[in-house]
Structure 1
Amino acid sequence: MGDIRKAAVLLTTLPEEEAADILQRLEPKQVEMVSIEIAKLKSVSAEEQEQIIVQFAESNPAATADGGGLDRAKNLVQKAFGKNATGTLDTIRQAIEEVPFAFLRNIDSQNILTYVIDEHPQTIALVLSHLPAAAGAAILAGLPPERQISVVQRIAQMGQTSPDIIKEVELGLERRMSSVMSQSFENAGGVGAVAEMLNVADRATERQLMEQLSLEDAELVEEIRRLMFVFEDLSKFNDKDLQIVMKNVETSQWATALKGCSNELRDKVFKNMSTRAADMLKEEIGYLGPVKLSAVEAKQQEIVDIVRRLEDSGELELNPGGEQEALVQ
């Protein structure tokens, strides 16, 4: 994660007056770069925000950001520079207009599906990689099963894409959907993009796709699954499932892992312990003092791996999205 994105996320967590005051202290070029990044932000996950806040200062890790967007960026720049904001605002506007496939963000997912369903899987993968995860998931769910597998594999393997290819694909959609946008070189796709889409896809689509994909690429399935469930998702577990996890996790693992989590998750873990055990864990957390973020993340990943093993053994059934599954009579 780049420093510019970190600064953008941090500024979106602050009241606008305070964020504008910080912008006033930056060089004009720095203001432009940070403001453009804020304008590109759609929403910020609680996990990402917590990591950034922990790095910058001791703060409430459970707080959530209002998110970015062009309006947010404009408000900050206008409050920071008043009448002198025009030049920076023009730069931000131009940069946002160059985001690949930005025009599709205002079009219903089902309409996009109609235009891309017969395209080559590589073309569909390129388009989905530039859309928000929810839109990508909706389009993915509408594809035939065999096409879903091909598209997911290509998204996962995608890295940097030539701007000429991006432009060619977008111009094709431009002609058919009567929308025009310029292009820029961009990183897109990857296993993380697949995990984000499946996290918001309906359970039936997720399970069917993962089962079929496992027959062709078991390692890719495992990598996707590790990204789909994150440590903070433990806060969504019911008490019974959390207690199953806690029986398999050492106190020392919890002490380090809880240093970088939300208050909600920390309180839930304490609640599912005896008073004495919770007090001992709190003391151990206090004794640790400041801990490197990398060490915290490593312990959190250890617990995530334990959860995955419990799922594989049938002791747990993961449902990170908290969706209620239908019952069959």
Structure 2
Amino acid sequence: MEQSTALALPMGGPDLGGLPDLAPASPGLPATSGGSTQLSGKAKAAIVVRLLLNDGAEIPLESLPEDLQLELTKQMGEMRLVDRQTLNAVAEEFASQLDNVGLSFPDGLAGALNAMEGKISRHTYSRLRREAGVRQFGDPWDRLRKLDAEELAKIAMAESTEVAAVMLSKLDTGKAALMLQSLPGPVARRITYAVSQTGSVSPDTVDKIGTALAAQVEARPDIAFDETPGQRLGSILTQSQSEKREEVLTALDEEDEEFAADVRKSVFTYALIAKKVDKMDVQKVIRAVTPQDLTTAIAYATDEEDIATSEFLLANMSGRMAANLREEAGQLGKVKKATGEAAFAMIVSMLRELVTNGDIELKSDEEEEE
């Protein structure tokens, strides 16, 4: 029996990847008989698919490459009746090949990369995707849907309003809403209005737009850092002593106000806890830090905003615990700067870890103003 494959149909049920390609399909098959040896691999694939569909099996044929979908459909259109002997022979052959399967590898390079994602370096993964080309990876819109809302907004602003409207329409509603939120008001209004003009856009046009946009994403050069320069420097200054932090930020203001503003957005200090943390999350913060760091921070707080944070924390814990912390902080007296700054940094570090793990969520700028 020949071992080459005519069709490989990924599905929840049986894998059709073992169907043999015995010969070119015969045009117009009448009622067939005499077993399966006179049938081509395409004809056998059509019989198996028809049999599975009759039994109500869910077969995601849409995940096949378009040319294979066409071949399979045309083959089914050319066939007529198949007698029970031939049907049983094809089914037995298919079942026999399934029984002989010992290990199944991912389908093509796309499947291999999906299986290896996170296991090989990001650089190697990106390089293989680029070399294979966007079309190797099925629906290009699936690639675009994985981007975050800010990236999608940047793409939308770089494209025509009509293209952006198609992209908005192809996203899931939640991601589309976040993308709109990331766009300037006038741009968002133009794109949302343009959605009303997409009623007559053909599937082929939508596919070409998706392919072009996904190709742009794949063509972007690899970057060494996941965070922006402002975010990286902001994280560093968050862990720095206040004097050095203000010294650096003042110098940045003089050199590049826009970059300095970006850095300030990423700097998180003890003083910002009262503004950024919801009172319902205070207990989570308190459990994450040591009582010693909390007592030291309360005793060290002298600036108005630092004191406001201490009072915010004390007001949202049990009265007994708050009284004990006030008493212990009073007994500490004047705290050395290095000790106080270290306590501030430890509390902020633990808070950022809670945010990173998804245990708490910081307030947005709009929520701060409410």
Q: Compute the TM-score of the two structures, normalised by the length of structure 1.
A: 0.37
Bigger relative contact order (CA 8 A; separation at least 6): 1
User: Which structure would you say has the larger Rg?
Assistant: 2
